Amino acid sequence: MTEPTRTSGPDPLLDEALDWVVRLKAGAPTRADVDALQRWRAQSPAHEDAFRAAARLLRSASAAAKELADEQATAASVVALPPRSSRLLTRRIVLGGAIAAAAGYMMLRPPLDMWPSIEELSADYRTGKGEQRKVMLAPDVSVELNTQTSVALRPTPNETRIELISGEASVVARRSSSTPLVMLARDGRISALQADFNARCLDGVVSVTCLDGIVTVEQDGRSVQLRKAEQVTYSPAGLQASHPVDAKQVAAWQTGLLIFRDRPLASVVDEVNRYRAGKIIITNAELRRRLVNGTFQVDKLDNFVAQVEQLFGARITSLPGGVVLMS
């Protein structure tokens, strides 16, 4: 999607969008705030375009603020807009030191991850909790988005390129040309011509599993070629060595199942939280380490808390907003 054309004069719609972005980034947004933003965006394509433009400006501002921080700039320093933007944002200088400091030089996550971040909301395709969606990006490329997944289109003249902002997606590429499909995820690049693969991007860690064919994963000048049932992980710590995995287990979410083999309960709860409304929090360190072996149906995760209570004798405390404490 192209950025709305801007002139040197005021742009009321973009100003409104910036107000929304700053309100959600610098304040303490509630669910009502998020719902109101969604209604504002739905008013017209122009509203949606303005929101995306405002989100892009904030991303650029955050990156610029980080660069200044690296140069030991003071928190009160004002960060300049990218060269392509010719207008000042007056009081919404999203880029001022206060906003940069509040943003922590990155896109902040909402409390408990209970609603999407600004970056996720600005994606071209996004799924909510428990939602899955299949998208045909081209006649020879399809992407299935798992729960809480955000994907953006990043087209270039010579290749089909998308970005996995966060979440998990299964990709089927059947390219008829010599130009591969490229998926960006964090600071890495995944490419495939004739392949099926699963990509997962959560908490700064990206894992890629080849389900069929050949997939190439690159990061920081290093690359790994994956074949069927092989997986590789990368993060700011670097690209790890590939290893064999159970591909059916990795892709089980596409059939409505979550399969866990010798997984700590803390890890299982993290995964269940991506599908289930509300948030489960384990407050007992020993309970977090208990191992889980089992298969759960995605559409029956409301029973998960009761199952843990029965299996491990956990004490359950339910709080408003769907928050559950396990101890």
Q: What is the pLDDT along the chain (327 residues), one digit of tens a residue?
A: 333 333 334 567 887 887 787 777 665 667 787 888 888 988 998 888 888 877 766 665 554 444 445 444 433 333 333 433 333 344 344 444 434 433 443 334 444 454 555 555 667 899 988 999 999 998 999 999 999 999 999 888 878 899 999 999 999 999 888 889 999 999 999 999 999 999 999 999 999 999 999 999 999 999 999 999 999 999 999 999 999 999 999 999 999 999 999 999 999 999 999 999 888 999 899 999 999 999 999 999 989 999 999 999 999 988 877 888 999
Predicted pLDDT of residue 121: 61
Q: Give the pLDDT confidence score for residue 184 in this predicted structure.
A: 95
Q: Which two tokens stand for residue 248?
A: 């059916």
Q: Could you tell me how far CA 19 lies from the centroid of its own chain?
A: 23
Return the pLDDT at 27: 59
- How confident is the model at residue 1, as a pLDDT? 39
| 139 phi-psi bin (left φ>0, alpha ψ -120 to 50, beta other) | alpha
pLDDT at 55: 77
pLDDT at 61: 55
CA distances, 259 to each of 155, 206, 212, 247, 266 (Å): 35, 19, 20, 11, 15
Strand, helix or coil at 117? coil
pLDDT (0 to 100) of residue 87: 38
Burial class (CB in 10 A: 0-12, 13-18, 19+), 236: exposed
- CA–CA dist 149, 168 (Å, integer): 6
Question: What is the pLDDT at residue 10?
Answer: 54
Q: Which amino acid is at 125?
A: Y
**133-138/125-126 β-pairing:** unpaired
Burial class (CB in 10 A: 0-12, 13-18, 19+), 95: buried
Query: Using CA atoms, how far apart are residues 74 and 64, in angstroms rounded to an integer?
Result: 13
Q: Which residues pair with 295 in a beta bridge?
A: 259
pLDDT, tens digit, for every residue of 14-71? Answer: 878 877 877 776 656 677 878 888 889 889 988 888 888 777 666 655 544 444 454 4
Please, which residues have CB within 8 angstroms of residue 63's CB and are 6 or more apart in sequence? none
